[in-house]
């Protein structure tokens, strides 16, 4: 038993310099209120890639994907007296995602969501432009 404890401690000691952790900035209500006009609970119906954005064209020097998701609104709430989408209405959401094959996360950058069909999330939304809502960088 004592040998097992020593092996575990050695393993943790050897592994700790290899692990690369970064502090995670949680979403705060104050930041959401500053960046979003509408909060909506929605179910993801479909997700499509619009185009790839090369790393030379991004602020974080990583390749991104411009994505478009079709979302069915389950509930919505207006933060800044903007009209919020109606219940059971389908909206289109444009957002950016990390190209998973080339990068896993962004140092000191925003969170890039991964949306999949049938996921249900609370979405902080920016005002729609040409019938598309946007996820703000929070």
Rg (CA), the chain: 19
Residue 73, strand partner residues: 42
Tens of pLDDT, residues 71-109: 999 998 887 777 788 889 998 888 888 876 666 566 666
| Predicted local distance difference test score (pLDDT) of residue 124 | 83
pTM of the model: 0.67
Largest CA distance in the chain: 66
- Tokens describing residue 21: 């952790």
Q: How far is residue 120 CA from its own chain's centroid?
A: 13
Residue 96 has φ and ψ, to the nearest 5°, of -110, 145
Report the relative pairing of strands 132-134 and 90-98 from DSSP bridges: parallel
Query: Can you tell me whether residue 73 is helix, strand or coil?
Result: strand
Q: Which residue has the tokens 């996360």?
A: 105
| Residue 117 near residue 45 (C-beta atoms within 8 A) | yes
List of domains in the chain: 28-134 (2.40.50)
Q: Which residues of the chain have pLDDT under 70?
A: 1-28, 100-111, 129-131, 136-138
Kindly state the DSSP code that residue 79 receives in the 8-state scheme: S
Query: Can you tell me whether residue 51 is helix, strand or coil?
Result: strand
- List the end-to-end C-alpha distance of the chain, in Å, as a whole number: 48
| Predicted local distance difference test score (pLDDT) of residue 117 | 92
């Amino acid at each position: 038993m004592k040998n097992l404890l020593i092996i575990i401690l050695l393993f943790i000691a050897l592994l700790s310099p290899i692990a690369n952790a970064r502090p995670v900035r949680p979403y705060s209500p104050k930041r959401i209120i500053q960046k979003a006009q509408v909060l909506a609970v929605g179910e993801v119906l479909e997700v499509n890639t619009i185009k790839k954005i090369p790393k030379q064209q991004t602020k974080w020097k990583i390749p991104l994907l411009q994505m478009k998701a079709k979302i069915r609104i389950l509930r919505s709430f207006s933060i800044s007296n903007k009209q919020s989408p109606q219940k059971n209405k389908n909206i289109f959401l444009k957002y950016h995602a990390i190209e998973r094959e080339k990068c896993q996360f962004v140092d000191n950058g925003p969170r890039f969501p991964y949306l999949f069909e049938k996921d249900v999330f609370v979405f902080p939304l920016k005002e729609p432009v040409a019938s598309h809502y946007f996820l703000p960088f929070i």
